[in-house]
A and B are shown apart, each in its own frame.
Chain A
Amino acid sequence: MEIYDTEEEQVEALKRWWKENSTSTIVGLVMGIVIILGWNYWQDHKKERAAQASATYDQLLKALDDDKKDSADKLAERMQEQFKGTEYAAFSGLFQAKLKAQQGDVAAAKQILKTIAAESNKALGNIARIRLVRLMLATGEYEQGLQVINEVDAKQASSYSANYDELVGDLYVALDRLDEARTSYQNALREGQPSPLLQFKIDDLTAQEKLEAPK
């Protein structure tokens, strides 16, 4: 570190430094301020948008509570357009798919779930896919359903494997491939939480040989 002997020398040094660096200092400062302001604006905007999305979404939930299916459907549609890309848009999609499925428009429901499965994050993607396959099971697209589950990246789905395995079991039962169904159900039971219905499904598929051996 330089040590200056007199105050005049210090002032001189300061002046010299300022002459050399004034432009870049000012540009730097201005840029800094712009960035901070811009960032703040962006944050505020995001917050505002999120608050709006949440409020509109609450309206949708309210309409569902009151069993106003038409206005719920419209609100869900609006949410997905206006707040595309937000979590709330995806939630609205899930509800709209439910509405469509209830009204018998399975094709529309599937399309919505397919979109969410493809575009959303891991959590919602898995949830949408599980429901999509459940619709396929109902409409007899068993092989296609197995295909969808087959294509799931195991790493992405680890915590959901019990859900998938039970569905796979259901699909195999529908295809009358009972041995494979049994194995899938047993996997689901091992991975997930105990469920009476799943236990019933397993018990229903008990193999003959098992009982030939003395208990």
Chain B
Amino acid sequence: MLTKIREKAQGAFAWGILIVICVPFALWGIQNYLDTGKEAPVASVGDKDFFQRDVNKAYEQYSQNLQGMTIDEQSLKAQALEKLIKDEVLLQYVHAKGLVTTDDTAREFIQSLPYFQVDGKFDDKRYKTMLNLQKMSSAEFVNRIKSALIMEQFQRSIIDSSFATKYDVESFFKIQNQQRDVDYVTVAVQKTAEQPTEEEITAYYQQHQDAYQTPEQVSIEYIELSLEDIAKTIAVTDDKLKAYYEEQKDQYTTAERRKISHILFAINDKTDEKTALEKALNAKKELANKDFAAVAAEVSDDKLTAKTGGDLGLFNVGVMEKSFEDAASALKLGEVSNPVKSAFGYHLIKVTELAPGEVKPFDSVKNEVTKAYQKAQAENAFYEAGETLTEMSYENPDNLKTVADALGVTIKKSALFTKDKGESIAAEEKVRSAAFTEEVLHGNNSAPIELGTDSLVVLRLLEHKAAAAREQKDVKPEIVAVLQSDKARRQAAETAKKIKAKLQAGDSIQAVAAENKLQVKTVAGLTRSKDGLPLVLSDAIFRAAKPVGGKSTVFIAELPAGEQAVVSLSKVKEGVMTEDDKKQLELATKNIAKAFGQTEFNALINSLQADADISVKR
């Protein structure tokens, strides 16, 4: 068929067929090529795909908000992706529900943003520059703003429309301001001198092997390249130093300081060039017996500087017109120039201060020059040595000698160190973690480790001491201490239990306390916000069951140091609003309403996410 078609290819009909057939094929072809070049999305929401670059971008923005905090990158990226998905789900929902932002609203909002404002007003130029910096088109930006505005409108609609009733607020204060009356005794942990038996010690030792181990340790040999060391070896000759000094003369030169003042005779609508020049010449004559500053104040058309005697401050090359600069730099101290013409008019210029520039002589800066020269020269050598080190240590993974000989450096050795702690070179965390990699433990050279910008280390294993159990006799004192303190705690707990049982049986707390030589402490009207009691204790008090039928609730709370507090809760008083609360009632109502709104909104978002078609590749 194809040959037939080609024969007839001059006929109009056949052309039509060819076009009909070829175009889709051609496009399909392109499609396929496009597809193969595409990376796989890391996540998708509905038909919106997210790629790694989107996650990276979101992560960058996300991590900027958390500057200075060290959170590991992987989990931050996961959070950033989560947020991307969450936002996208919401965005798709609000779009589907027909929420829109008008162009006017978006424009108004953008114009109200301070980033785009100059002197409190929106500035189009600034807007475009800022967008360019972000590599974003205006259309794209407006779209994003619109999306953000819709989502915000939606969020507001849910959260701000929530309310709290009077009942809600009163219930809140009933609980929040609740008061509880308690009496309690504290049973201290009494140190016991009783020695545990050998059997007890052995049993404990065997059950807690993990706790009694010496950590894994290694020592290493290593080659360290440092820019500083290489710099010291660079040979210097006076000739080379001088050449370097000439080259870098700017570094060793202090610039000239020249302060100038001027009097301006402006050329404008009222004053033509000739008049201005005449005025300038007259003034110049006057200056013969009059102070420059006084004349400036009197006649200068540069009103801004006239008040300060025409002072223009330090003279910098490249600010003024060339004619002005030439004249200004040619003047001697105190000298007044002839009228000089610029775009503004005619100037009389005076140099009011002049400190000539100074080139420090070679001899006085020789030390500095030597150091700078050596460092500059060493940088190349350091880079090359680094390359050699990297290559040769990789090619000869079973020793460091080859590369050390090639570089002419010595191999250094470290003492034993653990994963967490080491001295001298092993004080570097990077070195320690490299030393404990699989590769190094198997006897290979490590990859090069950069310590700062000007030091490079390659290391290999010298000695490896695996983690080992410490012998029982070595750890006996530790075990004894643990067992003794355990026992002491147990005894305290037992005493506390006995006290509790007596209180529950109806004994008075005073009597029981006296019996056990303890002090009764009484707290009346304890509130949640009042401190004074240990946190665990007051938490436990507010978590305890309310007393029923006039019978106190008795319970034990363990305090941080192991003491046991036996508490008798005698009364719970419902909270009421204090005078302060009443004054702030409106605010409290608002806050409670907002909290309700927030939980409702969160539930809504969760529901949307549960219903959305989300897939995340791991």
Contact = CB atoms under 8 A, between A and B. Distances in A.
Contact of B167 (A1, A64, A137, A158): A137
Given A4-B13, A159-B606, A54 B163 contact: no
A214 B496 CA distance: 10
B603 interface: yes
Interface in B167-192: 167-168, 171-172, 175-176, 178
B10 to A, nearest CB: 10
Contacts of A197: 172, 175, 595
A146 interface: no
B604 A211 contact: no
Contact of B102 (A54, A98, A134): A54
Interface string B574-618: 000000000000000000000110011011101110100000000
Contacts of B543: 203, 206
A91 B150 CA distance: 13
B589 to A, nearest CB: 9
A131 B600 CA distance: 10
Interface in B110-169: 153, 156-158, 160-163, 165-168
A163 B600 contact: yes
A50 interface: yes
A98 B13 contact: no
Contact of A160 (B1, B153, B554, B607): B607
Interface stretch (A16-24, A28-36, A119-127): A119-127
Interface string B1-22: 1001000100111000000000
| Secondary structure call for the B interface | helix
A145 B504 CA distance: 40
Interface residues of A, number: 58
Given A158-B607, A207-B545, A58 B105 contact: yes
Interface string A159-186: 1101100000010000000000000000
B83 to A, nearest CB: 16
Nearest to B176: A200
Nearest to A137: B167
B98 A211 contact: no
A163 B497 CA distance: 40
Contacts of B161: 91, 94-95, 97-98
A88 B608 CA distance: 18
Contact of B98 (A4, A86, A135): A86
Given A54-B102, A200-B176, A203-B543, A127 B600 contact: yes
Nearest to A91: B157
A149 interface: no
Nearest to A57: B153
Contacts of A193: 599, 602
A152 interface: no
Contacts, number: 136
A150 interface: no
Contacts of A98: 161-163
Nearest to A46: B98
B600 A54 contact: no
Contacts of A215: 555-558
A77 to B, nearest CB: 15
A64 B160 contact: yes
B163 A159 contact: no
A127 B98 contact: no
A7 interface: yes
A138 B171 CA distance: 10
A199 to B, nearest CB: 9
B13 A51 contact: no
A129 to B, nearest CB: 11
Contacts of B1: 1, 3
A58 B101 CA distance: 10
B557 to A, nearest CB: 8
Interface string B79-104: 00000000000000100011111101
Contact of B11 (A10, A64, A210): A10
A104 to B, nearest CB: 9
B163 to A, nearest CB: 4
A10 B100 CA distance: 54
Most central of A121, A159, A192 by chain B CB within 10 Å: A159
Given A95-B157, A130-B600, A206-B546, 7 more contacts: A4-B13, A51-B102, A54-B100, A127-B158, A195-B595, A211-B553, A214-B497
27 contacts: A1-B1, A3-B8, A50-B98, A54-B101, A54-B153, A55-B105, A57-B153, A61-B156, A94-B158, A97-B161, A121-B97, A123-B604, A131-B162, A134-B163, A134-B165, A134-B596, A138-B166, A138-B168, A159-B603, A195-B595, A197-B172, A204-B178, A204-B546, A208-B548, A211-B545, A211-B554, A215-B556
Top 4 A-B residue pairs of the complex, sorted by shortest distance between their CB atoms:
A159-B607, A138-B165, A94-B161, A138-B167
